[in-house]
Structure 1
Amino acid sequence: MLSNREISQNFEVRISTLYNWRKTKPRLYRYLRNADYNFEQSREINILLKRFAREIECDLTVEEIRIFLESKFEARSIDEIEEMHRLLLQLHHKELTGEQAPLYFGFYEKVAQMNIIERYILYKRVHNLRAEKREIDEETIREYFEEFLRKGS
C-alpha cells in the first residue's frame, strides 16, 4: 500500500488534494493507495497470458487474420469478446454472399471454437497492431499471430 507521500510523488498530486479525495472520491483514493498492488496484479496476469499463448493451437490463415484486422470490430467488454464470432458475423453480413463467403465462414467457425482466453489474446493482438498503425503485411501478421497461424502455412 502506498503512502500519501508516495502517491504524491508517483502521480504528481499535491498531498492536500489527496486528503480532499479521501473524503470526496474515496474509490479513487483507495485505488491510488493500492496502485502498487494493482500494477503487480496486472503484471502477473500479463505473464500468465503470455505463457498461455504458447499453448494455443489454432489453424487460422494469414487471410483470415487480415479479415479481422481490417474489420471495424471493437470490443468494449469481455462479453463482447465472448460473443466475438457472432458480432463479427453481424458486422460482415454483406461479405457472406460473395466469393469470399467460405473464407469468412471458416474464420467465424474457428473463432467460435476458441475459448475466451484465446479470443481475448487474439483480440488484444489485433487491437495493439491497429494502434501501432504499422503496415499490415504478411510478415507482420506472422510475427504478431504466430501461435494462431496454421502450422506449415
Structure 2
Amino acid sequence: MIALASDHGGFELKESVKKHLQERGLEFKDFGTYDLNSCDYPDFGAQAARAVADGQCEKGIVICTTGIGISIVANKIKGIRCALCSEASTARLTREHNDANVLAMGGGFVGPVLANEIVDTFLDTPFSGLEKHSRRISKISELEK
C-alpha cells in the first residue's frame, strides 16, 4: 500500500500519480487534499508519513508545489527518510543508498510523464543492502533518538 498526500499545489500531479498507480494495479491510500482549495501541506504530508512510519503503508509519495515543504514535513516523522526527486536517477539512488521510504515531488516542476518515471523507479528499486549504506542509515536513525 502506498500513502499519497498533497496540498493544493500538488493536487493535480497527485491525481495523475493515482491514475498511474491504478494502471499498475497498486493499492494506495489518499490522505488528501481532495481539491484545489488553498490548504496547508503539513496537514496532509504528516498523515501520509505517519502511515508509512507505523507500517500501515509500505512507502509514501507526497507532493506540493516545490516538493520542499512537504518533504521537510515528512522528514519530521520518526522513521521517515523522504527524498525530493525531480528525475529518475535520484529516485533510484535514494532507494539504493538511503532506503528512502517516502518520495517527494514538486507539482510545479515535474510533469505527469516524468512523475510516472520517477514513481516507477522509486517503487521498483530495492535497497542495495550494502554494509556502508546500512551503516549510514543506522547513523541517521540514531539522530532521531
- TM bin (shorter chain): under 0.3
User: With structure 1 as the length reference, what TM-score do the two structures score?
Assistant: 0.25
Greater Rg over alpha carbons, structure: 1
Q: Which structure exhibits the higher relative contact order, with contacts defined as CA atoms closer than 8 Å and separated by 6 or more residues? A: 1
More strand by share: 2
User: With structure 2 as the length reference, what TM-score do the two structures score?
Assistant: 0.26
